[in-house]
Structures are given as C-alpha cells and as structure tokens.
Chains A and B, each alone.
Chain A
Amino acid sequence: MHRKSFLTGLAACAGLALTGLPAIAQEGEPIKIGEINHYKRMAAFAEPYKKGIDMAVEEINEAGGVMGRPLEFVYRDDQGEPGEAIKIAEELMTREGTVMLTGSILSNVGLAIASLAGNREWVYLAAEPLADAVTWEQGNPWTFRLRASTYMQAAMLAEAAAETDATTYATIAPNYAYGKDAVAAFKEVLTELKPDVEFVAEQWPALFGIDAGAEVQAIERAKPDAIYNVTFGPDLAKFVREGNTRGLFEDREVYGLLSGEPEYMEPLGGEAPEGWTVTGYPWYDFEGDANAEFVTAYQERWDETPKIGSLVGYATAQSIAAALEKAGSTESDAIRQAFEGLEVATPAGEIVYREIDNQSTLGAWVGTTALEDGQGVMVDWDYKDGADYLPDDDAVRELRPSE
C-alpha cells in the first residue's frame, strides 16, 4: 500500500482540478484536451493512467509545450456510464474548449464516445479500451486507438500456445463482450496456426461474480491439456486461489490474457500463479532503454512503481502532443489527418497509428510468470510489436464496414 503517495497524488489531483496546470512560462492560452474516465469506479486503473498523463504533460510543458502553448488535460469522471460520458464529452468540446477527446478504460464507454466522435466530427483517442470494435466493426475516421487490442493480445498468446504439444483447451472468460472477443480471437488464431486443437470446455463466469470453486471443478472435469484465462480483477484472484488450492494448474499450460499486468499481478502477492504464459508489463526488468528511463522517471515523480496504465497514459499524452505538432493546428480535421500515419516515440518504442484502421502498433510483452521475493513477475519475456499481430489489410478493410 502506498498510502502516502496516494494522498500526495490526491492532493495533486485536487490542485489540478482547481487551478489547472500551472503554465510554465509559455505564451498563449493552453491547448486543452478532454479526458473522460472512471476515476472512482475503476480507481485502481485510472489513477496510474492519470499519473502517466500528468508526468508526460509536465515534461512536454517544460520542454516548451505544443506549438509554443502549454498542454492541459481537463479530467472528468463519468461514473463508468456511457450516457454520462457523452454528456461530458459535449461539455468538454463545446464549453471547456478542449480540442479533442481521450479517455475511458471500459470498452462500452469507449464505444459510446467513439460513436459521438464520429457523429460530431471530433477526434477521440481511445487509449485504454481493448474492444476490437473500437477500430473495426464500429470504427470511424475520427476514432484512434493506442493500446494493443483484444485481438492482438490474444493472437500473441495463441502464437505461443501453438508452439506447445497441448491439443485440448479449456477457456474461462467473463461473460461479456471483452471476454467473448478474447476467446473468439484466441480460438481463431490458434485454430489457424494449429488446426488439430480442440476446445473441450468454455466457462463463462459472470463478470465480478465468479463462482471460482465451481468453475475450477468444471474445468478439471474436462481434463484439458491447457487453459486460456481471460478473467481479471477480483475474479482472477478467486480463480487463481481456488485453482491453486485444488491443483488445477498442475501439469497444465495456462495462458492468461493481461494476467501479467501489474494491475492484476500485484494484488495477488505471493499467490500469483507460476508458469503461466501471459501478456503484461515487466517494468522491473528494463535496463538501459527508453522503457527503463520511463520507469525510473515515473518512480521518482510519483514515488511508486508504474503500472501498464502509467505507460498508456504517458504514451497517450505523447501521441496527442505529437499529433498537435504535426497538425500545426487545433482544428479537429487537421488533428484527425495528423493522427493518420502518425509516428510517435514512446518508451516502448516507435509506434505508428495505421492509416488503414487508426490502430496504433503499440505492442505488448509476452512472458512466463514466476515468483520473486513473494511477488509475481514475468520472466523470459519478449516485446511483441503490435504490427505483427494484426490481420492483413484486406481482412481489416472488411472489418471496417463504415469505409
């Protein structure tokens, strides 16, 4: 627990909310960016994300801002409700004078804002939402996405899974859109890479309402060679504990989507699963690269360790600053055009916002979980470039019906 830093963070937030960022010696009005998120409902995710943004904004403004003007994020809480987010988006864009929108962790809120953005012709950078629909089925020219989507991350795990001897799989995923997408993508890619695999059980616990004991029994009953896990948060904690207790994971390959992210791994403490193949963020292992620099700077700035959200937040602000510089204007259409094909140097490396579907090529780290000093970590990890895990262009074009 980081009580002290948490409180400092709060104080900083409060200060920000009241006064806005102290402009550091630039000329002109700040350029405002509207950031809508579930700061209360998903505080564990939103706070590191916000700190990442704040840090990037401080750095950008110290370096002279964007187009000579300071950058400023206006943060608003939408309670995790799409309807509220729409209202706030209207306010930000028409009253607060923000030039574009970003934010949301939940996919449904992201999709709602994306739909509004397409209708109103405002630029929206969906930084965190993972749903494939944001850039594909429901994609529109005004919506861009930073993070590697569900499909991309599932494809990375499927690739790893295809290399093993396991042929029978059980899946467990929360019973809602993200879970279903994640399972569908994994099945699709894995079946393509290894046609003889068989899915012997599909478990769909209610989101945040898992009956872990029963799920573990049901999977055990199917006797699969491997398990693909999409549960997260409190569901993951319960699943892992019951699974460990009942020996479900012994002698089985387990693939965990996002399970290696600090947001999910840290709460598990010494009970983090060992030997799972996961996507995540091994910040503790970086040495001598941009990633390591970011981690060090973040720890210095906030006195706490970074989460994946911290990186995403940081890259979000970087992307927006880069787009504005490239556009040379704060007009929506200029920003939109600037985002197309935009190249940004993030701590994780150079990324591109693809012209074909507005998806960035930010990748993810794939590795194996292990325990070190009573804490779950990823070992033998590899950074997978997002560009390698996207369907070919024809397929993508078909996935974007609006164009």
Chain B
Amino acid sequence: MGLILAQLLTGLANAGALFMVASGLSLIFGVTRIVNFAHGSFYMLGAYVGYSFMQVLPGAVGFWGAILLAGLAVGLIGALVEILVLRPVYSAPELFQLVATFGVILVVQDLALMIWGPTDLLGPRAPGLGSIVRIMGEPVPQYDLALIAITPFVALGLWYLITRTRVGVLVRAATQDREMVGALGVNQRWLFTGTFFLGCALAGLGGALQLPKGGADLLMDFTILAQVFVVVVIGGMGSLPGALLASILISVLNVFGVTFLPQSTLVLMYLVMVAVLMWRPFGLLGREEVAGELGQVGEPEEPIAPAGRAVQALTALGLAALASLPLWGGNFAIVLATDILIFCLFAASLHFLLGQGGLVSFGHAAFFGGGAYVAALSVKYADTPMELALLLAPLGAGIAAIAIGYVALRATGVYFAMLTLAFGQLLWSLVFQWGEVTGGDDGIVGVWPASWASGNGVFFYLAFTFSVGGILLLRHAAHAPFGYALRAARDAHARAEATGLATHRLQWAAFAFAGMLAGLAGGLFVFSKGSVFPNELEIARSFDALIVVFLGGVKTLSGGWVGGAVFKGLEDTLTRFEYWRLALGLTIIAVVILAPEGIVGGLRKLARRLGLVRAADAPARQKEPAE
C-alpha cells in the first residue's frame, strides 16, 4: 500500500514538469495552429538559463527566483522567435511553419553548445528541500512534494487566465474560431506573440523546475519532444485540461510500468497513445476538428499540367547527364548521388501523400525504415537474394501502410499526423527493443548487394533506375485519374463523395502507394549502406522528409525530389564546417521566409516575374457567397 502511494506520488511529481511543457505546446497549437517542433528546445533553454541564474542568485529566494526568471527569459526568447521567424510565414500554407520551427531547433542546439559547452550540467538541489519525507514508511523526496504542490497552482493560474480574463477570452475565441477574433478587431499579431510568450515561458519553467531532479544536457530537447507530443495528443490538441489529464496519466502509467513491466519502457507510451486515439480520435478532451480547418490556405494551388516540350527536353538532358555520372564523376560523387537519389524517392513519396492527398504524415519513416528492415531481415534470416529483397521491401512497407492507414485515416488533419507519428514511434520502439530478432540498436549489418551490383557504379544505376522510375511513377500518378481523384477528395470532400468518389479508400490507397515507394527507397538504402539501424525508423527521419517536402514546395509537382536533392546536398556541404547545425538551421529559416511556396514554388514565381514563363490565370481567393 505504502509503495503504491509512493509510486503514485512519484508519478504526480513527474507529471508537473511534463504538464507545463505540454500545456505550452497545446496552447500554442490551439491559438496559432502551429505545431511547434522547437518546443523541446525551449524546455532545454529553460534548464540551461535556470542553471545559469542559480549559479549567481543565492539561497532559496535565488533558487525560486531563478526558475521564474528562466521562464520569463525563455518566454521572451519565444516571443522573439515568433516575431522574427514565424510572423513572416503566417500566410504560408498551414503546417509550413513547422519547417521554420525545425530550423529553430538546429540553431538552438548549436547556440546552447557554444554558450554552455558540451558537458552535462547537474542541477542544484532545491535549498531546504534536499531530503525525504517518510509517508507510510516509504521515502518520498521533499522536492517531489513541492512539485506536486506547485503544479495545481500553475494549472489554476492558467485556468484563471484563460477563463477569467480578457486575454483568456481572446485566446479561447482564437482556439475556437480564428476568423472571429480577426472580426472582433483584435490585433491577432500580438495575440499570437503573446501566446508564444506564454507557451514558451511554460516550457522554460518546466525545464528549470526539473533541474533538481536532473540537470541540463544537449540532448534533452529531443528527449522531451516525443513525450510531450504524446501527452498533447492524448489530452487533445489545444485542450489545457486535456494536457493536465494526459500528463498525469502518462507519468503515473510510466511509474507503474517501470515497476511491473520494466522492459516496456519505450513501447508503453505509444501503445497508450494509439489506443486512446483509436477510441477517441481527437484525444481525451480534444474537440473535433472543423473540416478544412487544416486544409490548404494561402493561394490556391494551380492546376497541374504535363510538362511542356521544353521542360521534357531539359529533364531528359538532366537525366542523361546524371546517368553518365559514373563516366565523369569520381567514386564519391557516385556514392553521394546514390544517397541523394534514394532520399529523393523517399521525399517524393511523402510529397505525393502531402501534395496530392493533403495527408500530412509525421511518421513516414515507418515505411522507409520498414522497407529497409524487411529487406535486411529477409537477407539475414532467409538468405534472400538482393533482387527478391528489393521486391519484398516495398511489399512489406505497403502492407504496413495498409494496416497503419486503416487506423490512422479514421482521423484527419493534425490528428492523422499524430497517429502516424505514434505508429512510427511504436514500430521504432519495437525494432529498438526486440533485439533478439532485429538486433536492436546494434542493427542488422552485412546486407550487401548481389555480386553483380556490388560496384558503386552498378549500384548507382540500380538506384537511378528505381528512384527515377519511382519518382516518374509518382508524377504520372498525379496526372492519372487516381491523382485527380485524390486532389478532388482533398479539395472538396463532400463534393467528391457526392460524385461517387470513395474518398476514404482513395486516401488509403494513396497511403499504401506512398508507403510502398518509401519502402522501395528503404530497400535501396540498406543495400547501399550494407546495414540498417533503428535510426531509419526514428521520428527524426520522418521530420527530415517532412522538412524537405515543405522546403521543396507542397503545391508543386516536383517539390519532393527537388527539396530532397537540395537538402541532402546542403547537408553534405555544411556538415564539413564546425557549426553546421547553426548554418543549416539559418538556411532553412531563410528559405522559409524568402520562399513560403518552397523552392520550386518560389522559383516558379521568380521565373514568372522575369517573364520567363507564362503566368496561368491570376489566382485569387475564392469568394464566399453573400448570404
């Protein structure tokens, strides 16, 4: 009994910091509809800034003062980021802003390394709260009790702010209906900035408050991010009570998981997330998404058209030049080109899903890595020849996509994205933990191409054929009835259903199709590297593809592979320099601000302005009927 109580208290104490970070993310999403990938970075900054303040401020007053100051400072940094980085891109297609926040992650990582150095910092203990209290004979740290006491105050404070003040009314109104706030004559800009301040301050507070239970290190941004996403999604995006409930649920569950199922540490959280979303697709206390709320905003997409003669000729020329690479390029050029080609296919498959289907997946790496693992496992356990393994990879990934799509497509918009994330993480944690079969973190090595394809040059042609073929197939599918039907389902769901289109099945098919091609890319990847590790299934790999697609331009046909090629090339160049993360992050932010339509969209616009290509009909917003 005493033990159960003590464990419950541990769980509640952990829930405190988690709730603060999660509520900040939820608040920001609720008001601005931005999925802030950088939220973990603000949490990390909170820990570091809090640590620095604690070094100079003495005593208990200094300790608690440092925590408050850390929250304040991080809130200000957040507001600054909002003003400098996000404001210029609010008119871009929704979810595009997350690319900018991804850039912020990279920048913060390098800045933190520059300022605080590489060594982990151990957080100071809270003055006067360094020991334990015995409750029913079980030791409970005093600081845990302090956290348990503080959390309700923060929650109450938030509740008061949201429900009892004018600011709160506006925030709530914005969460419900953004157009209305604009109509009320409220300065939406400052409302957004204020929300960012508050959300980031909460993340900073969370980071500083956990110092006495751990410290500050450079990996904590990503460590917390996945967990916070899970909490926010389970609670319901935009719901503060939901965030509180989910924080407590996850934390308490974790504590009991540690005791009774110690092996389950990774899988448990994602299993719960999937289960909750299957039961309630909008989270425990989330509200149903208004149809089209997360659809395309900004300028309407232009009608697609098959490439003209000139473009076709240019493409053929480019492909011929690429195909002749082994004749004039060195070995490394071939290896790099193979890498880029494979990544381009992966990116293009996600781009198809996003661009044609309007389905934003946060877990596309499940199929890339999934395909890679299918190939590697079949080689490892059945000595499958490469040719067959390359067939099994897309097949396996396609089957996985059919299964995951079946569940994930029950939800729409951001919840769909979050479900794919949950499944991706679930798959990752399974592969990571099921070491007996998958080799766990040590991966599967020694998966080399068949002898005829073992030369880098031959393998390049193999990758060239499949990648270019796959990308052309995706492009053709966009021009085929299937692509049109997908865009129809995306553009006007009710209209599509009312003209006989099985929208759900179309999207499901697109999900499987994109998954298959990602799996093919994964299969090629294994044989090009000779090994595969769980990294290829990780959330970071999904984000890579997502960033690339947005950078390339969602509302274009070639955004996927162009973004992939540019990103990989840039990465290869920049990682040669000392502070490459800073440089890459700033580059991403610059592209986001300068070309909100992505690289391809931006170039198209530029070409039009220069009169190089003919403009289509001048686009304008669709008018609403005057009732």
- Contact residues, A299-315 vs B (CB, 8 A): none
Mask for B522-549, Cβ within 8 A of A = 1, else 0?
0001001111010110000000000000
Among A77, A84, A206, A242, residue most surrounded by chain B Cβ atoms (within 10 Å): A206
Does A321 have its Cβ within 8 Å of any Cβ on chain B? no
Whether A206 contacts B265 by the Cβ 8 Å rule is yes
> A20-28, A211-219, A358-366, A391-399: which one contacts chain B?
A211-219
Q: What 1/0 mask marks residues of chain B from 126 to 145 whose CB sits below 8 Å from any chain A CB? A: 00001110000011010110
Q: How far is the CA of A271 from the CA of B139 in the complex (A)?
A: 19
- Count, A-B residue pairs, CB within 8 A: 215
B120 touches A234 (CB 8 A): yes
What separation, in Å, do the CA atoms of A47 and B119 have in the docked complex?
A: 10
Docked Cα-Cα span, A223 to B14, in Å, equals: 24
Cβ–Cβ contact A214 & B3, under 8 A: no
**Which residues of chain B are near A205, meaning CB under 8 Å?**
258, 265
A175 at the interface (CB under 8 A from B): yes
A10 contacts across to B, CB distance below 8 A: 578
**Contacting residues of chain A (205-251) with chain B, CB-CB under 8 angstroms:** 205-206, 208-209, 211-215, 217-218, 221, 233-234, 237-238, 241-242, 245-247
Contacts of B318-336 to chain A: CB distance below 8 A = 330-332, 335-336
* Cα-based distance from A203 to B265 in the complex (angstroms): 9
Q: Would you list which residues of chain A between 32 and 87 have a CB under 8 Å from chain B? A: 40-41, 43-44, 47, 76-79, 81-84, 86-87
Which has the most chain B C-beta neighbours within 10 Å: A116, A211, A238? A211
Q: List which A344-395 residues lie within 8 A (CB) of chain B.
A: none
Q: Which residue of A lies closest to B55 (CB)?
A: A1
Max chain B CB contacts within 10 Å: which of A111, A115, A241, A245? A245
B266: chain A residues within 8 A (beta carbon): 175, 206, 209
B11: CB under 8 A from chain A? yes
Q: Which chain B positions have C-beta within 8 A of A81?
A: 535
Q: Are A90 and B456 in contact (CB under 8 A)?
A: yes
Residue with the greatest number of chain A CB neighbours at <10 A, chosen from B110, B332, B339: B332
A111 to B530, CA, bound (A): 10
- Flag if A211 contacts B259 (CB, 8 Å): no
The answer to whether residues A241 and B445 also contact, given A83-B536, A91-B335 and a CB cut-off of 8 A, is no
Q: B106-126 vs A: 1/0 string, CB under 8 Å?
A: 000110010001111110010
Does B163 reach chain A (CB closer than 8 Å)? no
Task: State the Cβ distance, A172 to closest chain B Cβ, in Å.
Answer: 9
What band does the interface of chain A fall in when counting residues whose beta carbon is under 8 Å from B?
Answer: 35 or more
The CA-CA distance from A386 to B109 in the complex, in Å, is 38
Q: Which residue of A6, A47, A267 contacts B121 across the interface (Cβ within 8 Å)? A: A267
Question: Which A residues are in CB contact (< 8 Å) with B182?
Answer: none
Residue B200 interfacial (CB < 8 Å):
no
Please measure, in the bound complex, the distance between the C-alpha atom of A3 and the C-alpha atom of B117, giving whole angstroms. 7
Closest approach, in angstroms, between the C-beta of A215 and any C-beta of chain B?
6
Which residues of chain B are within 8 angstroms of A206 by Cβ–Cβ distance? 265-266
Cα A124 to Cα B441 with chains together (Å):
20
The segment out of A161-169, A176-184, A189-197, A288-296 that lies at the interface is A176-184
Which of chain B's residues have a CB closer than 8 A to the CB of A334? none
**Which of B132, B254, B440, B530: most chain A Cβ within 10 A?**
B530
The answer, yes or no, to whether B13 is at the interface (CB within 8 Å) is yes
Q: Does B7 contact A (CB under 8 A)?
A: yes
Which of B10, B125, B131, B535 touches A217 (beta carbons < 8 Å)? B10
Q: Which of A44, A115, A203, A266 contacts B531 (CB 8 A)?
A: A115
Chain B nearest CB, measured from A353 CB (Å): 21
B131 and A112 within 8 A (CB): no
Interface flag for A13 (CB, 8 Å): yes
Residues of B within 8 A of A107 (CB): 441-442
Across-interface contacts of A241 in B (CB, < 8 A): 122, 125, 212-214
Is the beta-carbon distance between B262 and A204 smaller than 8 angstroms?
yes
Name the residue on B nearest A215 (C-beta): B258
- Are A90 and B335 within 8 A (Cβ)? yes
Q: Is the CB of B575 within 8 A of A76?
A: yes
Q: Once the chains are docked, how many angstroms separate the CA of A79 from the CA of B538?
A: 14
Would you call B14 and A211 a contact (CB within 8 A)?
yes
Which residue from B3, B130, B529 sits with its C-beta under 8 Å from A83? B529
Bound CA–CA A246/B254 (angstroms): 19
A176 touches B7 (CB 8 A): no
Partner of A17, one of B213, B332, B577: B577
Query: When the two chains form the complex, which single residue of B109, B223, B331 contacts A94, counting CB atoms closer than 8 Å?
Result: B331
Q: A111-B445, A218-B262, A247-B132 in contact; A90/B227 too (CB < 8 A)?
A: no
Q: Is A268 an interface residue (CB 8 A)?
A: yes
* Cα distance, A67 to B94, chains bound together (Å): 62
Bound complex: CA A272 to CA B144 (Å):
21
**Complex-state Cα separation, A6 to B119, whole angstroms:** 11
- Beta-carbon contact of A246 and B139 below 8 Å: yes
Min CB distance A278 to B, Å, is 17
A40 adjacent to B113 (CB under 8 Å): yes
Given contacts A44-B118, A133-B442, A175-B433, contact A86 B456 (CB under 8 A): no
Q: Nearest-CB distance from B562 to chain A (Å)?
A: 20
A373–B266 CA distance with the chains assembled, in angstroms = 39
CB of B131 within 8 A of CB of A245, answer yes
How far is the CB of B114 from the nearest CB of chain A, in Å?
A: 9
**Does A118 make an interface contact (CB < 8 A)?**
yes
Q: What residues on A are CB-neighbors of B7 within 8 Å?
A: 214, 217
User: Is B465 close to A, CB under 8 A?
Assistant: no
Report which of A209, A217, A238 forms a contact with B265, defined as CB distance below 8 A. A209
B168 close to A (CB within 8 Å): no
B484 at the interface (CB under 8 A from A): no
Given A217-B3, A221-B259, decide whether A233 and B529 contact each other with a Cβ distance below 8 A. no
| A119 on interface, CB distance cutoff 8 Å | yes
Residues of B close to A159: CB separation below 8 A = none
Asked, given contacts A83-B536, A217-B6, A266-B119, whether A176 binds B576 with beta carbons under 8 Å apart, the answer is no
Q: Which residues of B contact A234 (CB under 8 A)?
A: 120, 214-215, 217, 219-220
Of all chain B residues, which has the CB nearest A180?
A: B435
Could you tell me the distance between the alpha carbons of A119 and B530 in the complex, rounded to whole angstroms? 8
**In the bound complex, do residue A114 and residue B13 qualify as a contact, i.e. CB atoms below 8 Å apart?**
no
Across-interface contacts of A175 in B (CB, < 8 A): 263, 265-266, 432-433
* Contact among B11, B214, B529, B576 for A82, CB-based, below 8 A: B529
Nearest CB in chain B: distance from A316 CB, A: 19
**In whole angstroms, how far apart are the Cα atoms of A214 and B144 in the complex?**
12
Whether A202 sits at the interface, judged by CB under 8 Å, is yes
A108 to B530, CA, bound (A): 13
Sample of 5 A–B contacts (CB below 8 Å):
A43-B113, A94-B335, A115-B531, A218-B258, A267-B215
With A6-B118, A204-B265 known, 6 other A-B pairs at CB within 8 A are A1-B117, A17-B578, A119-B448, A180-B440, A203-B258, A246-B141
Q: Ordered nearest first, which 4 A-B pairs have the shortest CB separation? A: A43-B118, A94-B331, A115-B445, A213-B10
Taking beta carbons and an 8 Å cutoff, which residues of A are in contact with B?
1-3, 6, 10, 13-14, 17, 40-41, 43-44, 47, 76-79, 81-84, 86-87, 90-91, 94-95, 107-108, 111-112, 114-116, 118-119, 131, 133, 138, 175-178, 180, 201-206, 208-209, 211-215, 217-218, 221, 233-234, 237-238, 241-242, 245-247, 266-269, 271
